[in-house]
Amino acid sequence: MPRPPLAVGTFGAMNFLVIGKGRVRAQVSFRDFDGRRRSVTRYGRTKAEAERRLRAALRDRDSGLDEGDSADSRLATVAAAWLAEVEDSDLTVGTKRLYRFVVQSYVMPGVGQLRLREITVPAVDRLLTAVRTSHGPGAAKSTRSVLSGILTEAVRRGALPTNPVREAGSGRGHRRPAKGPRALTVEKGRQLCERLATDAEAVRLDLPDLVEFMRGTGVRIGEACAVRWSAVDLDAATARIDATLIRVPGRGLEIQEFPKTTAGRRTIALPAFVVDLLARRRTPTPMAQGTSSHLRQALDRAEFDWVSSHVFRKTVATRLDEAGLSARQIADHLGHNRPSLTQDVYMGRGLASPEAANALQRSR
């Protein structure tokens, strides 16, 4: 005879299992307030202690559906709502994929089942420290950003008065002192290009021109690979950066018809050597599978293992800074939303800066 269904907010018989010396598991099937049956489990040193903890957990469950609008809402509820907004936004495919990964891999396992009132500054610090220890500073930085977005949504809903992530420490005390951006010197840049030019495999894969283009423009590797001839004006010595290359799961590489950020849509002035390079080719750098990994291998063979595609952006920023360009001009050239040095000088966001091209030409 089939069991009668549980009423909402009730649970079935408790099950106990001794899983080790001084460790007992208490488990029960609970019909939650959304109508779903869920397994609820607690542990204790004795059967009685495990049962007490389990009954306390059942009493603490919400008395209604969790709408994510109170301090007793679980962070997972607000995280799901925040991700839904992210999916409907105009963020890039890669950014959306990164945010989903961070929520699923770091935020949910660490604090997903905590209630919002339990997401305190110490709780945030513990999560970031754990992620940094296990996965590195980059993962911790992404986790901090995503968690801040989720809790900003909680503040907007009236569930929290303030965002605790803003008060949490950066965790710099747990890291080695940050090093300044490392850039190629003029001589090292020439040496790298010479070595790539004599690397038969790099030449076959069209990497020397790609590196020279990035070294002369500071564009991201995805932006470089997405440049179309229609975006280049050799007479004006400019290139329009309005797309980037992305990898779409299940489909491979595709050109995304907008760059990484709003400020990334820009027109940059080209130094003479880049104009000559493009005039010689008369075609843009082709879209190719594995370009990043092939470039990594070529840089290793050239004994520049510390160089990545991003180093070329750092190098360009350094050259422009050394040439006396303002922080605003440098940010406009690189497609940054905010200048890193100063935000007081505005020189026409999104417009070509001849001074940038001249500085890069002189530094070649």
Same fold, 75-173 and 186-362: no
Least confident range of 43-47, 99-103, 245-249, 300-304 = 245-249
CB 218 within 8 Å of CB 274: no
CATH number of 75-173: 1.10.150.130
Q: How many CB atoms lie within 10 A of CB 196?
A: 23
pTM of the full structure: 0.56
Checking if the pLDDT of 181 tops 60, the result is: no
Checking if the pLDDT of 199 tops 50, the result is: yes
Strand partners, 253: 247
Q: Which amino acid is at 59?
A: R
What's the pLDDT at 67?
Answer: 65
Residue 33: pLDDT band by 50, 70, 90 thresholds? low
Give the neighbor-by-neighbor strand order of the sheet with 266-269: 232-233, 238-241, 266-269
CATH fold group of domain 186-362:
hpI Integrase; Chain A (1.10.443)
Q: pLDDT per residue over 50-80, tens digit each? A: 898 888 877 766 545 566 677 878 898 899 8
Nearest alpha carbon to residue 222 among 201, 199, 253, 192: 253
Mean pLDDT, rounded, for 113-118: 88
Ordered by start, the domain boundaries in the chain are: 15-60, 75-173, 186-362
Structure tokens at 300: 């290793």
Quick one: 162 exposed, middle or buried, by C-beta within 10 A (0-12, 13-18, 19+)? exposed
Q: pLDDT per residue over 127-177, tens digit each? A: 999 999 998 888 898 999 999 999 998 888 888 888 999 888 754 444 444
**Hey, which bits of 123-242 come out as E strands?**
232-233, 238-241
Mean residue pLDDT across the chain: 82
